[in-house]
């Protein structure tokens, strides 16, 4: 019987580079199922529905919640986000490892639903660098940007509650990806040891 696939969760503050990390991991051809998150937020110009996110209306998302279709869901910056449960369970049942991108709330919810998940916290070298990245992204209004920066600063303290922390230094994306790929490799060959603080809020 094929072993069940391992579940990995990549989280961290907005603007830290989670999408860039996952994109490079895909390019590297890692044998992972890359989960696509569902959201009600507007689609950005460079985003592809079904690749970057599944974009749903509020009513569509609500119907999926009623059907218990999400592994986790949360309201982030005024929009709903959720990880569809079906593709995750299907991949794991087939022995395929799964990686999920989630916000801090989502990571905590996933730890509750899947205690065997390996949680990875991606962080910037410092707050000024994170602020620069968020500002240069130019995807939010001035007020929305201030909220994202303030939220990101609060979320930085959550890193100690994750199983692993990886710093995404400016211009060294390859290093961050290599470190995460090593974490994944090690997790498949070592007994599970998880930091439970994120679940309990300690």
Cβ atoms of 17 and 5 within 8 Å: the answer is no
Q: What contacts 138, CB < 8 A, 6 or more positions away?
A: none
For range 70-90, the mean pLDDT: 92
Q: Which residue has the tokens 């919810």?
A: 109
Task: Give the pLDDT of residue 177.
Answer: 98
The model's pTM is 0.83
Burial of 58 (0-12, 13-18, 19+ CB in 10 A): exposed
Q: Which residue has the tokens 């309201």?
A: 75
CA 92 from chain center: how many Å?
17
Torsion angle defined by CA atoms of residues 58, 62, 64 and 65, in that order, rounded to the nearest 10 degrees: 140
- Structural tokens at position 27: 């390019």
Provide the b/e sequence for 27-37 (b: ≥16 CB within 10 Å). eeebebbbbbb
pLDDT, tens digit (0-9, with 9 covering 90-100), for 6-42: 999 999 998 899 999 999 999 999 899 999 999 999 9
What is the DSSP pairing of strand 53-55 with strand 37-39? parallel
List the chain domain ranges.
7-35+95-200
pLDDT, tens digit (0-9, with 9 covering 90-100), for 106-118: 899 999 989 999 9
What is the DSSP pairing of strand 37-39 with strand 164-167? unpaired
CATH number of 7-35+95-200, picked from 3.30.70.20, 3.40.50.720, 3.40.50.300, 3.30.479.30: 3.40.50.300
pLDDT, tens digit (0-9, with 9 covering 90-100), for 151-194: 888 888 889 999 999 999 988 999 999 999 999 999 988 755 56
Task: Give the pLDDT of residue 15.
Answer: 84
Cβ atoms of 87 and 72 within 8 Å: the answer is no
Q: Which residue has the tokens 């939220």?
A: 151
pLDDT band at 201 (very low <50, low <70, confident <90, very high): very low
């Amino acid at each position: 019987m094929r072993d069940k696939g391992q579940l990995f969760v990549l989280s961290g503050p907005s603007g830290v580079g989670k999408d860039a990390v996952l994109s490079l991991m895909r390019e590297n051809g890692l044998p992972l199922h890359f989960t696509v998150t569902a959201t009600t937020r507007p689609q950005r110009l460079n985003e592809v529905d079904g690749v970057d996110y599944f974009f749903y209306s509020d009513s569509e998302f609500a119907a999926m919640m009623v059907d218990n279709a999400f592994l986790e869901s949360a309201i982030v910056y005024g929009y709903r986000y959720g990880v569809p449960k079906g593709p995750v369970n299907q991949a794991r049942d087939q022995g395929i490892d799964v990686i999920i991108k989630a916000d801090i709330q989502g990571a905590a919810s996933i730890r509750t639903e899947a205690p065997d998940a390996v949680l990875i916290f991606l962080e910037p070298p410092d707050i000024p660098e994170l602020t620069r990245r968020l500002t240069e992204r130019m995807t939010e209004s001035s007020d929305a940007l201030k909220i994202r920066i303030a939220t990101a600063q609060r979320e930085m303290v959550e890193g100690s509650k994750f199983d692993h922390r990886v710093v995404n230094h400016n211009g060294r994306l390859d290093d961050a990806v290599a470190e995460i790929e090593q974490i994944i490799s090690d997790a498949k060959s070592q007994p599970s040891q998880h930091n439970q603080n994120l679940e309990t809020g300690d």
